[in-house]
Amino acid sequence: MEKKSGFQVAVCAVFAALTAVLSQLSVPIGPVPINLATFSVFLAGGILGASGGLLSQLVYLILGAVGLPVFAGFRGGVGALAGPTGGYLAGYAAAAWLVGQAAEKFGRKPRVLAGSMAAGLAVCYFLGTGWFMIVTGRGLWDSLALCVFPFLLGDALKIAVATALAARLGVVYDRLDRNARAA
């Protein structure tokens, strides 16, 4: 991972905090709650790039792993990471990195951001649903019905809004980062 400026580290911390806050805006509909955490994940990757997006989500996961109640439902601890939703939490880091990679390589064009966010979400679904199946012993169709299908529409809306915001806020972030480095 490249060396981060103080400004970049601070913004990564802000995105870790944003993910923690948006995780609490949740609706418990079953074993996996509906929440806004992936919205923050998409923004982190789209604005901060691959290493910054990844770092922000790793900080979030570490805070939760040490017991701070940052996961949905004010949960924390290693048990939450090892539980049925732990794969989705790990998927946040992978999704942020993937979105950031695409943004760095192809720019923050809405088409690029939306496509990479959809791909990042697919990775998150894959990791999360796979882990859910291992922990709960449920089959694929049952797991998809519980953990993926109810979320598709909401996640599509999150991608649409995150795409528009990341395209605009990424330019602001880049300008502030350049100014911070020049100071």
Kindly report, residue by residue over 80-99, the tens digit of the pLDDT: 999 999 999 999 999 999 99
Look at residue 183 and tell me if it is in a domain.
no
Residue 162 has pLDDT above 60, yes or no: yes
According to DSSP, residue 77 is labeled S
Look at residue 40 and tell me if it is in a domain.
yes
Kindly report, residue by residue over 88-129, the tens digit of the pLDDT: 999 999 999 999 999 999 999 999 999 999 999 999 999 999
Distance CA 119, CA 175 (A): 27
Look at residue 1 and tell me if it is in a domain.
no
Which residue range(s) make up the domain with 50? 6-178
Residue 2 has pLDDT above 90, yes or no: no
| Domain count for the chain | 1
Identify whether the C-beta of residue 75 lies closer than 8 Å to the C-beta of residue 31.
no
pLDDT band at 1 (very low <50, low <70, confident <90, very high): low
Q: What is the dihedral of CA 69, 71, 77, 78, to 10 degrees?
A: -170
**What predicted TM-score, i.e. pTM, was given to this entire model?**
0.94
User: Would you state the pLDDT for residue 161?
Assistant: 98
Q: Which residues, at least 6 apart from 144, have a Cβ–Cβ distance to it below 8 Å?
A: 129
Distance CA 21, CA 133 (A): 27
Look at residue 149 and tell me if it is in a domain.
yes
Look at residue 129 and tell me if it is in a domain.
yes
Kindly report, residue by residue over 19-73, the tens digit of the pLDDT: 999 999 988 888 888 999 999 999 999 999 999 999 999 999 999 999 999 999 9
Three-class DSSP labels, 118-147:
HHHHHHHHHHHHHHHHHHHCCCHHHHHHHH
Look at residue 23 and tell me if it is in a domain.
yes
